[in-house]
Amino acid sequence: MKSDANRKYSLIFSGLLIGFKYLGLMIEGKIPYTEITISPETNVSTILILLSIFFFSHFIYYWFAETKKERNFFEFTITVVIFLIAIVPELYKYLYNYGIDWKVILSSLGIVALGFLLAVTFDFIFAIFFSIRSNQEMMKLGLGRIPSASKAFVLSLVFLIPINFGIIFLLKKYSTSFPHLIQNYWHLLYILPSFSLNFSYLFNITKCLGSKSMRKNALKDLRWFRKAMDLHEMHYQFAGFEPHRIYEKPPICEYACIGNFEELKKLLEEGTNPDTQDSRGWTALMWASAERHDNIVKLLLEHGADPNKVNYLDRSALGYAANYGLFQISKALIEKGAILNPKNEFTNFPPLTAAASKGHLEVVKLLVENGADIFHKGRGEQTALDIAMEEKYGEIAKYLRIEMMERSEKTNDKTDFVKNTNWLEE
């Protein structure tokens, strides 16, 4: 791996620098592991510093690019410590030549650290402002005007704003106590984190002054927080933590929800797309499955409805049918190619787990017999068997345990926690 090679060279050149500066190591001819020739005029320290920084920065970049399994935290810590031991004294000497001593450094770091509170305050203000929904968006999505998280940010500002004013007052009052070098620049150090952490917001606000297309893209980027909060609030409504709100549905979804077979059939015969999704990603097939309308499920499947469309929770019609123990609907969906082991399920709660958690033995058997992964571990690293045992569904636990014992090869397939938000962008 690239991080290993850069780590080794970072350690080598950091070690050479320590040996050269503090242990009397003599380097003649060439810098080891390089083709750099040394002459009496060569500043060996500078070359070793540059080489150490070069390979250390590459090591850090590639280390963070690796997966968690590939990373070795012990090696990372050792490399960072040795690099700092080698570089910090040399860097301090360089800064000292320009009048920057430890007092200046500590004072500057302290002011910058306090500035992070101001940066967070501005971040909350931007997030709140650009998360506010219009009346049209509220009706379309069935959400409140201000996301729940934004309300929490508003409460936080009640404390953050006075604290920031207090910090500014104290910094201004005692600015003459700072080292002379930063007495006239403390305010720049204080606002530095605000510019760096909120640069994206400031840049996109500036873009709003441009053309219509530029303004549209800028507003989309500025509202990234609201998009995440839309999903958050929808999920909380589904889970019962937030009150359910009525929102707009296309006629085909509305008819599927209330069970109006004739009107829905008429729409399909007129050419309405059976996979039409509402503002939360639900299709008519999902609504019919969740509301137990067997005849409508059958009708939609006959007209080519896709059983694998997903909504904002990344759940399909089969997920709801399994959750409510609807055997016939589950069977019909499976016969039309419904995926039993979804890979991008938002809450990592596949159909088998849903059925097992609610005690639906016949549906559990149906799913397993058709290929559901009984070894899958979802939330809390629990299998369907674990959940069945936890919920005290003995018959399901017994069935799943026997199935597991009869299968000699366990699959290593795991579901990623990936949010499906493509439908929301559309």
Rounded CA-CA distance 426/422 in Å is: 7
Rounded CA-CA distance 325/82 in Å is: 60
Structure tokens at 341: 């082991």
Structure tokens at 190: 């204080």
Residue 292, phi then psi, degrees to nearest 5: 70, 35
Quote the CATH superfamily of domain 339-426: Ankyrin repeat-containing domain (1.25.40.20)
| Contact of 177 with 106, CB cutoff 8 Å | no
pLDDT computed for residue 302 by the predictor: 94
pLDDT computed for residue 347 by the predictor: 62
pLDDT computed for residue 422 by the predictor: 43
SS3 61: helix
Give the position of tokens 């707009």.
248
pLDDT computed for residue 118 by the predictor: 95
Give the position of tokens 């936890």.
390
**Rama region for 393: left / alpha / beta (φ>0; ψ in -120 to 50; rest):** beta
| CA neighbor of 320 nearest in space, from 371, 361, 365, 282 | 282
pLDDT computed for residue 423 by the predictor: 38
| CA neighbor of 255 nearest in space, from 271, 269, 267 | 267
| CA quadruple 122, 125, 131, 132: dihedral, nearest 10 | -160
pLDDT computed for residue 360 by the predictor: 94
- Which regions of the chain are under pLDDT 50? 410-426
Domain ranges of the chain: 2-96, 102-227, 339-426
- One-character DSSP codes across 391-413: TT-HHHHHHHHHHHHH-------
Rounded CA-CA distance 218/57 in Å is: 32
End-to-end, the C-alpha distance of the chain in Å comes to 39
Long-range pairs, 392-396, Cβ under 8 A, ≥24: 393/356, 393/359, 393/361, 395/361, 396/356, 396/359, 396/361, 396/364
